[in-house]
A and B are shown apart, each in its own frame.
Chain A
């Protein structure tokens, strides 16, 4: 048995302009996330899975990827990751609008799979996709030292699923270029991490698979970017998978139909949430003179404009034609399905 190497954060500190860019993205994400909860209350969205508090983890981890050739495998709480990956937001929100389960965006264009409700299921997809990148290199006679890499999002709750074990074991065996990015946000709906993760750390499990891991402050965007960059460098260079465990906090409810008051108090939240990832970054950028108050105001105004434009586009989004139910089941539609589509059209559209 070989011991997993330790993973150290990437040595290069982030330049000021990159930190400003991250602050802009995180501010947009916070505005949109907060608004999406309001949209649900206003009847614009049937439901939404808030991610307040996880902006640094999501934006920072995607920042470490090459979105032109890597591929991101989210769960259902990754609006921030989607925004950072450049996914069209109204098309992403289409899943929460109940327009189309999985959203309307082209997963291959944005290299970002649809949201995953059976958490942990997509970890194996990332391993398979990553293995495909190795096979591509072998087929094309390229050295396996610069591989497109998969970023898998999972949480402390998903880590309990058997598929995570299978994914980590397969990834370790096949040395696939994947980064398991664990957002340990303290809660799987109502069950706290200490009742979820035996041993207390998902990153610690890496040792058993021979997978290097790094545990970092998920509320510190620079720590997230540098830690994830180290993990991506490891995976991309053909050394196999890596694990990043970002310690963060789900500041909001599990979903818009959740009531955290049944399982935690406001005092708990204040005590456990840690630093707000956006406020602390803003304070840092103000303190070192990178930004002034006017610049912060401008960034917030830009985020508000973006939120408004997204809301209008989401509100304008009509339902999809019912014929699409039948159209997308297969690449090669069956005769039986054609007949059902015809019957549906005759009986519901009276044609």
Chain B
């Protein structure tokens, strides 16, 4: 698996953003960072602050991970705290459960989303339930990092949107950052929580640079409006947020003022934030990469409908992946919600007439 992964690893990795910055826990000011560097910085800070935080997974040590998210961490924090495991995802998650029982805060990496499937048993039957089963005696402070979603033409089972499973599992929390700023702050937040958090990193956004404001994280719970607008709310997460911002720019040229809401937390979802946005715009389109049927878009649509039924001008529209296995790279652009499909969704909502 790791060999296959390595072949699709994009080029252009530089050294860590700043060795000096990695030596300080309290970062100040702001810095332009790619998302992979931002997560790397957050992990370094978490490891520096909490001597019981551990990073483990396949190739996370000497190599620094196939996406270099853990680059330099083993060198700085030692091979006891940042360590390679055998190639076995159930083992990685099961071992993390045991480490949490021993009082540690494991931050396991599953190398690619699709390799999470061999670990589903440990995640669903053990990690998610141990706090419940033991009536709080054995909490599971585990932050599970998963490079997620499509968009980089990767091999089969390297492009899954696992919120379609994990957002339904009692005992888990699920979050996905859409920008370097969000990635840095949400990782630091998630990795200090006492509950298991699945941290879904949009791998198509790993190399996009943007400003990380270390002084002002902003709110760390719930959703955020990343572009205000008056006519319609686009709800998205992970890699789809940037695409929705592009769509909003194009729609603005036609005089359509689109609000983009980055849902961020996929469990629990921010019902109040959705209601606040849509009660203003009165129209909503939810965009996600996972297949449509029983996807998280249905939950978002129902949440909006419960809160805003009286004022909605149209049913909540879904623009999603299709009910097919994630296809090969050459068909990826046909499968993923693209700008045109999202614009069509917007058009359907705007043109909707009550029968």
* A163 and B94 form a contact (CB under 8 A): yes
Q: Please give, as numbers and ranges, the residues of chain B lying within 8 Å of A138 by CB-CB distance.
A: 80
A283 within 8 A of B: no
Interface locus among A129-137, A255-263, A265-273: A129-137
* A130 and B98 form a contact (CB under 8 A): yes
* A166 and B88 form a contact (CB under 8 A): yes
Q: Please give, as numbers and ranges, the residues of chain A lying within 8 Å of B195 by CB-CB distance.
A: 330-332
* A167 and B99 form a contact (CB under 8 A): no
B324 within 8 A of A: no
Residues 107-165 of A at the B interface (beta carbon under 8 Å): 107-109, 113-114, 118, 121-133, 135-136, 138-139, 150, 162-163
* A166 and B94 form a contact (CB under 8 A): yes
A294 within 8 A of B: no
- Contacts A118-B126, A169-B86, A330-B131: A106 and B137 contacting too (C-beta < 8 A)? yes
* B126 and A128 form a contact (CB under 8 A): no
Q: Please give, as numbers and ranges, the residues of chain A lying within 8 Å of B268 by CB-CB distance.
A: 334-337
Residues 81-107 of A at the B interface (beta carbon under 8 Å): 100-102, 104, 106-107
* B135 and A124 form a contact (CB under 8 A): no
Contact residues on B (Cβ < 8 Å of other chain), bracket: 35 or more
B85 within 8 A of A: yes
Select the residue from B93, B95, B97 with max chain A CB neighbours within 10 A: B95
Q: Please give, as numbers and ranges, the residues of chain B lying within 8 Å of A121 by CB-CB distance.
A: 94, 121-122, 125-126
Closest to B104 in A: A132
A344 within 8 A of B: no
Tell me the smallest distance from the CB of B123 to a CB of chain A, in Å.
11
* B86 and A166 form a contact (CB under 8 A): yes
- Contacts A118-B125, A166-B86, A169-B88: A128 and B102 contacting too (C-beta < 8 A)? yes
Complex: A127 Cα to B91 Cα, angstroms: 9
B90 within 8 A of A: yes
Residue in contact with B135 in the complex, picked from A118, A127, A150, A328, CB distance below 8 Å: A328
Q: Please give, as numbers and ranges, the residues of chain A lying within 8 Å of B193 by CB-CB distance.
A: 331-332
Contact string, B140-155, partner A, CB cutoff 8 A, digits 1/0? 0000000000000000
Residue in contact with A167 in the complex, picked from B94, B101, B173, B269, CB distance below 8 Å: B94
Measuring CB to CB, which residues of chain B are less than 8 angstroms from any residue of chain A?
51, 54, 80-81, 85-86, 88, 90-91, 93-104, 106, 121-122, 125-126, 131-139, 170-171, 173, 193-195, 267-269, 271-272
- Having A124-B95, A169-B91, one finds 4 other A-B pairs with CB under 8 Å, namely A109-B137, A128-B97, A150-B98, A169-B86
Measuring CB to CB, which residues of chain A are less than 8 angstroms from any residue of chain B?
71, 100-102, 104, 106-109, 113-114, 118, 121-133, 135-136, 138-139, 150, 162-163, 166-167, 169-170, 173, 324, 327-332, 334-337
